[in-house]
Structure 1
Amino acid sequence: MHKSQQDRSIKTIVTVAIAVVSISFTLLIATILYHEFSNTIRENATVSTREIVRQVNANLSYYINDIITVSGYARELAKQTTQYSTDTIEGKLKSILASRQDIVSLILFDMEGNKLFSTSQAPFRDAKDISSQQWFTRAIGGEGNFYFTGPHVQQLFPSQYPWVITYSQQISYTKQDGELGQGLLLIDMNFSAVSELCQSAKLGNTGYVYFIDNNGKIVYHPLQQLINSNIFNEDLEAVNNHIFGTFTSNFEGRERLTIIDTVNNCRWRIVGVAFMDELMSGLEQFTSVMIFLVLFCIIVTILLARVVSSWISRPIKQLEKLMLSVENGNLSAPPHVGGNKEVAALSLSFGMMIQRIRQLMDDIVKSQEMKRKFELDALQAKINPHFLYNTLDSVVWMAEQGNTEGVIKMITALAKLFRISISKGHDIITLAEEIEHVRNYLIIQQTRYQGKFEFSIDLPEDLEKLPTIKLIIQPIVENAIYHGIKYLQEMGHIDITVSRRKPGAILIQIRDNGIGMDEETLDNILRFSASHLPDGSGIGVKNVHQRVQLYYGSDFGLEISSEMDVGTLVNIVIPEGNPLSQIKVEKK
């Protein structure tokens, strides 16, 4: 006992020591890997986002240069008024609009705000109203310089109010008399090109790109409608504080990476916003994998530690497991455990003991089965002499009365009865033979109790050859006569019917109109505890039920129902066997 406790203590110490060292090392490596991988993902996400913003900036710069090229073409046309008519120049300008969806209008005004050339045929506002607008005034005096005016409602026409971005530049043009004059070129653009640039930038799942002017006001935002409706807010304060570069901030509960870059030629700034939880989604996957690997390593470490610590005690543990198996009733094979000499010897002795126990148990089972069969046979033998005594007593009485015909009838029926009862020592007979046996018994009893009862038997022809154990109906009929019909004042009836209950089962019904049984008596018979009944009723029922279950199993047997002053119904349920094979097996 002391040695076993010491062994468990050593095993526990070794297991804990190996597990602590290995798990600590695993956690240290996992922490270092997590930290390095987290930094790498953050840096890569920042670089990737910055590159996307720069690409959008490059595309926007390319688009602005394209607008500048269009304005250069318009300037050249303005200097060729002596070569081309006004309609020709306007036709060339309209051809530019026809090839582009982003330009709304292209117009040249003089310095007072009067139209010189236009792609629109709509009537214009007063020259004074036009010359007072911001895009007009900021371009005056800066010949050669161009300006982009952020989103605004253009008010050139009395009935049209488009939302545009305006390119304006003071240029020189040739008057009709050949002299040079000063004018102001206007190009109005819609948001289609800018919108496509912003939507093409994928910064995670919900990141976006927007533009602000040099005053910090939004030029274009993909969520502009939500901003105007106060459903969405933008962190313009942080953007205006940083002006240029990369920074992270928390806004409305989410950490965001913001990258600001300057757009060439138009004094705008491009702002890229990406959310860190999306950029770092790879870290979550890495963390899940890392946790799984760490847990796997911990489990493997603990298992290995237990294997090492259990190496010495393993043979004894195996023997203990075998003993527990035997304790639970598993005596299928003698146990054998290898290992050191002492454990092997103990295992051999234990195996011999198990073999001896199994042999004794087999002997006990056989003995009990034989004992039960002998008890049933003895009970059946007890019933037969009792009936023989009563029958012979009736024969003697009829002989004394000179009833020779009755004596012959009873002796003949008795001979047939016992011939079937003996059945050459066989326990299995056909249903036809069993029914013939009970018919002879009823003939004898009907002769003894003249005018006391009538009987009927219904056995279908296709069931006659089916096998059954013998003497299962007669005891039931005997109970019906002695304990039911015997006490009737009127004529008694016993009806025997054989049928199929369901596929694989045969139902034998014995119905009488005797005095019946009360609930207590029926309950005792149903539980087949008739040994304590004062009149011995049910002893044949118990014998039949036990013999049926002994041969066929617990799924078969007797079912009894009874009602006082109405009668009793006994159902005998047996399996439907092969008419030939089971009888042949029995004869062997």
Structure 2
Amino acid sequence: MKKIKIQSTFQKLTLAFLLCGMLPLLVCVFFFFVREYKVVRDVMVSNYSQITNYFTRNVEDILESVDSVMEVMYDYDDGEQTLAEVLQDEDMQQSEKALYMQKMFRTLIAQSEYISSERFADNAGNVYSYYFDPNKTLRKGADFYTSYAGDKYDEAMADTSLTIYAATQESKFCINSDDFVFVIRRNFMNISNVKSIQEKPLGTMYMDINVENIGEVVDNMQLDHAQVYLYLKEEQRYLYSENDEDYIDGADPLGDYVDNMKDSSGYFISKDHMLVIYEKIEDTDIYSVVVADEEIAYSNIGHSKLMLVLILCFVVFTLLILYMNFSRWISSPVVELKRVMEKVQTGDLSVRAKSESKDEMAYIIDGFNKMVEDLDAYIKEVYMAKICRQNAELNALKMQIQPHYLYNTLDVIRMTALDQEDRKTAKLLESLAKQLRYVLGEQAERVPILDEINMLKEYAVIMQVRFRESFDFHVSLSDEDARLMTLKMLFQPIVENAIKHGIRPKNKKGRVAVEVSRQESFLMVTVMDDGVGMSEELVTHIMDSLQNQPIGYRDQDGILSIGMKNVYDRIRLSCGEEYGFVVESIEGMGTIVTFRLPIWEEADEESNHGR
């Protein structure tokens, strides 16, 4: 016989349910039919206990709902102030505070269907109220469940949790009401800091719960021959009773049974043959109590065995269906994780597993997604030697600048030599020799800024001869800043643009200046001219091309020079994204290019030896 392999988690859970859940249940059913009357009685007690437990859970839900609403007070904010800030604002008008409190009351009461009214008493003696029923209003001068509860420091510190009062007539503190309500109170503390928490409360919140809410739960239980109570054991008062007379002081129909209610839950048969089932609501002195006549309770066990079997089969079938759906819900994250793992194994690192749960599987899936994301980032980081690629791009950019510069310089000398043979030609040749020695000499990435400025001066000599002394060239550089380092051949393309596109079209003598100044955290180099300038639209176009176009971009319109784009990209690649230069210009007045560079005291060893 071939062995069956259980592979999926769903199949394993189903088999476990059948073996560990269904099988024991069937065994229990078998023994149920052979048990004596005592077992049947225990079943009835169990049924009533479950009813009591159901009632207790619903009451707990109501109390937790109100408790959570009261906690919202600490987070409430109308967009400008929190409740604590309003209560401590001495400059705020009382009418403004009242309006704020009404907004808060409406927000709180909308979050729980059980709250019928709210009151808040601040530590200044002011009382604010809000009623779900617009016909109701706070009784003037009422001090019943409307007073500030933080007058005594020690008591206030000990009373920051919920305090629950027995049911009473709402008419004691409300006009136009004949309802019965029980009241929940909580002091509102200032939690802005540790010191303020130890101070007296800022106020006291009261919330009323109409006993009809409890009555609706009791009606849903459909207990025709039993009475249900919510009992405050220490006070011997009631939060709920089907008889309104029990809310009156002194009425205590459970008084003869209280001595037997010793545990947190249980049942007993009283001397008057009443079945009493009770359960204490956690962290309170409130007991849920169901009282039924013993004979009537047990007389309900008159069903035939066939009926019981049919009901049991229906329950088992329903549980099985629910379990199958639940098992699929449990196993779905595992199936999703398996699907994503298979895709990752094929090399797709962009896929991510999804999980809508918040359990351990969600933690595992999040960890797996993080692992795949880190793996993807690591591969991208080391792939294709990122650092080597950047160095190659830098060298390529410099190789574009140098031929372009040399060709223009040689063209100037050629034209000058054809025009005249005098000392100017010798001076031009001397300047050219110095520049060639600078450009083609040691291939260091960084050079002293003094060398860069001297090279600009030699270049200016050639340009002054070329354009017939049409401009003056000025440099401002302190001795201290002259020792700083900068990128080689960084400023020449900008100075060239200033002369050719700024001064030359002016048709009269102009001025080009370079200023170097050390700022607090960066080095500022300014290249300025008083030439023809540029329009605002042209400047915007140039800056957009510099910042947003890829490395090596060439403007098809010819507006952005190759040298200017290369200089900008070299700065960003060598110095970082926060460095570069900005172009400013006023048409007819001139142009300013402001460099933002790092402060390099000396070239690093790698730069000094070339790369």
TM tier relative to shorter chain: 0.3 to 0.5
> Whose relative contact order is higher, 1 or 2, with alpha carbons under 8 Å and at least 6 apart?
1
Q: TM-score, normalised by structure 2?
A: 0.44
**Which one has the largest radius of gyration?**
1
Q: TM-score, normalised by structure 1?
A: 0.45
